Amino acid sequence: MQLFKAVLTEEAIQEVVGVLRSGWTGLGPKTKQFEKDFAQYLGIPHAVATNSCTAALHIALKLIDIQPGDEVICTALTFVSSNMVSLYEKAVPVFADVDETLCIDPIDIERKITSKTKAIIAVHYAGHPCDMDKINALAHAHNIWVIEDCAHASGSEYHGKKVGTLGDVGCFSFHAVKNLSISDYGMVVTHNELWAQRAQCLRWFGIDKSTYTRGVNGKYHWDYNVNELGYKYNPNDIMSALGLVQLRYLDRDNAYRQMLVNIYRRALGNNPFIQLPVVHSNVKTSNHLFYVQTGQRDELIEALSRNDICSGVHYRPNYHYDLFRPYLRGELPRSEQIWQRLISLPLHLGLQVDDVLRVCQVINEFTQQSNALRNIPEISETVAVAVGLV
């Protein structure tokens, strides 16, 4: 059983076939339409497509004019790209601890703010929105920009508003295993029209007109200007065609994920050795991940593997890696404790109810048996086998 799985409908496949037959497969009309539709879905005026969320985060830092030596506060319990983009610009990643939802903790953010702090990257972990009211209040008080890392959170809501619209810039991932599954794709969203225009240039080498926009009424206009150093961060219409279809069903697909999560919660809710995720009442989570915590994480991963069930760990804190170790300032006790207990369980649109129940059965049987043995340390292996404990 896979941990993640991309599921594409025939409708999505045929949309791609249409692009292949159109003769225009690069950055073009499908991308423009997807940007428009996604912005409308969020209720935000501007969306600019990129080839990854990493590219989107990098562009977001460029939009706020990040400079070498500027500090960017972010969680360490995230994929490395959330913090790596700061290093692209020779800025300094500053790690803050997480709260009970495993999102960045506003209390620790405040402790980490200095005169060099330029931005906060708020990662909506597993799809659960960060405490954006407190984060925005801190940012406003200290004149700091807020970038939302929504890689896990397509469709998530905070106080009834879609994430990505709550800070200064929002960055999304539509990687193959994300809720809105394309392949490799990202999106920058903002209320700022000038930033949106600049983002369009930055994603295409700093050129002020894309190849598509230079073609008007069948005529090609070759002239353009290069405004600043840019990047090859553009997507193409093949990927955008997938996005157009996947977006139509995002809320439906997220509802299916929620149904699977509800089954996990019911089936594991009475297991005293398993800690379930905390979800606040004022949010709607996309449920990109379903994780649990247990003191027997590694043993449970092996037990699941023996039953052909894949699981994962999201994440080893970034400061454990050589690249980021020099940037750790003080201890992050919650991050350090939690990551050693974390295990992500299978969650994707290809799962059926019986699949989830089988995962839960393996977990419940394993924890019951292993902890029964721990409570009777003197029991011999022969006796344990005889009574069905191993």
Question: Which residues are bridge partners to 145 per DSSP?
Answer: 119
Give dist(CA 55, CA 37) in Å, integer: 20
Q: Are 125 and 78 in contact (CB under 8 A)?
A: yes
Q: Which residues of 100-132 are buried (b: 16+ CB within 10 A; e: fewer)?
A: ebbbbbbebbbebbeeebbbbbbbbbbbbbbbb
d(C-alpha 45, C-alpha 192), whole Å? 8
Closest Cα partner for 142 from 114, 121, 104? 114
134, 178, 219, 284: which is the annotated catalytic residue?
178
The tokens for 330 are: 């003080």
Q: Active-site residue 178, yes or no? A: yes
Contact criterion met (CB below 8 Å) for 151 and 53:
yes
Instruction: Count the residues in the chain.
Output: 390
Cα angle value 258/347/51 (rounded, 5°)? 100
State the Cα angle at 120 between 40 and 204, rounded to 5°.
55
SS3 364: helix
**CA–CA separation, 324 vs 30, rounded Å?**
38
Q: Which residues belong to the active site? A: 178
